[in-house]
C-alpha cells in the first residue's frame, strides 16, 4: 500500500480484537490542534486492552507513545510549537485548561482530555492529529524509537519514584520487571536508591541486575516480603503489575511509613489489613502518568542519566506481530512501531550496562 501526499497509512481496529491496515485522507488540524507526521509509536499493554475492548468506539487507531514532527498547525495552536519540530504525545491527549483540575494546575487529572488510542485516534499511523496542550518537546539526544516508550512507561515510573517519599540511600522495591519495571530499575538506581527487583523466575535476574537492581528476588524461590524485611524494610514499593495478590503479598515488606505506588490497574481489589496501614502509618497511592511538563523532565533525566528503554522496532504494518510479542512476553522490553519500511526486520537496542 503506497502513500501519496494526500493520504497516509494507518492501523485501525474495526472490531474487538482485530486490526487492519488502511489508507486514509490526510486531515487538517482544527482549532488548538496540530498535525503530526509520526516517526515512531510504542506498543503498550493498554493498547491491547483498547483493541480488545468491546465498548471502544470504532474504527479506532491505537497507540499513545507517539513521536513525530509537526506538519501543520491549526488556528490557536500554542505559539511555542513550530512546523518541523519533533514532539511527543502520551496517553493523555491534552488538557482543557478550564475544568477544576486544570484550574488547580493538575493537568494530568483534567476531566475533559482525550485518551489517545481510546477516545481519540492514536499513533499507529503515519499521521495523527493532537491537541497542542498535550505536546512535549523531544530532546535532540534521543532518537524517536527510544523516546516513544518514555512517554508512557518512562513518565509513569519516573513520577511514581518522585512521589514515593524515598530518599537517596533508601530501599525501594520494584515489582514486575517488564516494560514499566525495566525503566523503574534504571531510574531508581540513578536517583541514588537501593533497588530490589521482584520477579517470577530466574530468567529475568541477569537483566534486572544489569539494569540497576542491587538484588533480585525470585518469588518462586523465596518470600519477597521476608527478604525485604531482612534488608530493613522497603521505603517504597513500585507496583507495575496488575496481579493484586502479588502486590498485596509484596506490600508486607514495607517499612513503617513506607508507601506503595500503584501503576498497574488490576481488576481484583487489593487485600490489606487496616492494622498494617494504621499501625505503621503506611500508604497506598495511585500514580497516573504525568503532565507534559513532567514528561519533559522524564525525557531530560533519561538523557542526563543515560536511562533508556530497551526496544525492538517493527514496521507499522507489523503492528499485529508487535502486539503478539507484547502479549506473549517475548518482547524485551518494549516494542516500537516505526514508519520506516527499512526497519521491518526486528532490531533490539540495549541501554548501556550500569557498573557504578
> Per the structure block, which three cell numbers stand in for 71?
506538519
Distance of CA 307 to the CA centre of its chain: 14
Q: pTM of this prediction?
A: 0.91
Q: How far apart are CA 131 and CA 97, in angstroms?
A: 12
Mean pLDDT across the stretch 33-60?
95
* Other Cβ atoms within 10 Å of 116 Cβ, number: 32
Residue 1 reports pLDDT greater than 70: no
- Each residue of 187-219: pLDDT tens digit? 999 999 999 999 999 999 999 999 999 999 999
DSSP SS3 for 28:
coil
**Residue 299 backbone zone (phi > 0: left; psi -120 to 50: alpha; other: beta):** alpha
List beta partners, residue 219: none
Show the domains of the chain with their CATH numbers.
Answer: 7-138+310-349 (3.90.180.10), 153-286 (3.40.50.720)
- Each residue of 284-325: pLDDT tens digit? 999 988 999 999 999 999 999 999 999 999 999 999 999 999
Q: How far apart are CA 164 and CA 87, in angstroms?
A: 28
Q: Which of 59, 61, 82, 62 is nearest to 71 (CA)?
A: 82
Amino acid at each position: 500500500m503506497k502513500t501519496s501526499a494526500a493520504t497516509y497509512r494507518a492501523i485501525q481496529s474495526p472490531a474487538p480484537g482485530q486490526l487492519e491496515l488502511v489508507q486514509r485522507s490526510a486531515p487538517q488540524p482544527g482549532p488548538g490542534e496540530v498535525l503530526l507526521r509520526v516517526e515512531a509509536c510504542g506498543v503498550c499493554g493498554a493498547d491491547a486492552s483498547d483493541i480488545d475492548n468491546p465498548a471502544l468506539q470504532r474504527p479506532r487507531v491505537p497507540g499513545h507513545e507517539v513521536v513525530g514532527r509537526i506538519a501543520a498547525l491549526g488556528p490557536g495552536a500554542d505559539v511555542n510549537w513550530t512546523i518541523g519540530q519533533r514532539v511527543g504525545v502520551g496517553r493523555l491527549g491534552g488538557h482543557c485548561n478550564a475544568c477544576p483540575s486544570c484550574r488547580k494546575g493538575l493537568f494530568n487529572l483534567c476531566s475533559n482530555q482525550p485518551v489517545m488510542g481510546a477516545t481519540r485516534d492514536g499513533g499507529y499511523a503515519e499521521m495523527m492529529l493532537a491537541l497542542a496542550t498535550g505536546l512535549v518537546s523531544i530532546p535532540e539526544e534521543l532518537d524517536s524509537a527510544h523516546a516513544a516508550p518514555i512517554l508512557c512507561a518512562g513518565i509513569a515510573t519516573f513520577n511514581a519514584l518522585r512521589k514515593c517519599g524515598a530518599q537517596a540511600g533508601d530501599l525501594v522495591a520494584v515489582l514486575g520487571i517488564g516494560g514499566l519495571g525495566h525503566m523503574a530499575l534504571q531510574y531508581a538506581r540513578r536517583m541514588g536508591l537501593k533497588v530490589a527487583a521482584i520477579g517470577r523466575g530466574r530468567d529475568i535476574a541477569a537483566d534486572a541486575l544489569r539494569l540497576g537492581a542491587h538484588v533480585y528476588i525470585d518469588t518462586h524461590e523465596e518470600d519477597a516480603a521476608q527478604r525485604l524485611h531482612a534488608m530493613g524494610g522497603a521505603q517504597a514499593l513500585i507496583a507495575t503489575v496488575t496481579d493484586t495478590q502479588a502486590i498485596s503479598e509484596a506490600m508486607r515488606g514495607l517499612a513503617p511509613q513506607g508507601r506503595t505506588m500503584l501503576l498497574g490497574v488490576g481488576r481484583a481489589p487489593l487485600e490489606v489489613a487496616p492494622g498494617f496501614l494504621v499501625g505503621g502509618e503506611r500508604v497506598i497511592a495511585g500514580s497516573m502518568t504525568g503532565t507534559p511538563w513532567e514528561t519533559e523532565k522524564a525525557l531530560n533525566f533519561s538523557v542526563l542519566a543515560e536511562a533508556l528503554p530497551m526496544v525492538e522496532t517493527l514496521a507499522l504494518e507489523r503492528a499485529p506481530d508487535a502486539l503478539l510479542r507484547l502479549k506473549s512476553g517475548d518482547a524485551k522490553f518494549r516494542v516500537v512501531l516505526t514508519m520506516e519500511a527499512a526497519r521491518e526486520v526486528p532490531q533490539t537496542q540495549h541501554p548501556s550496562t550500569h557498573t557504578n
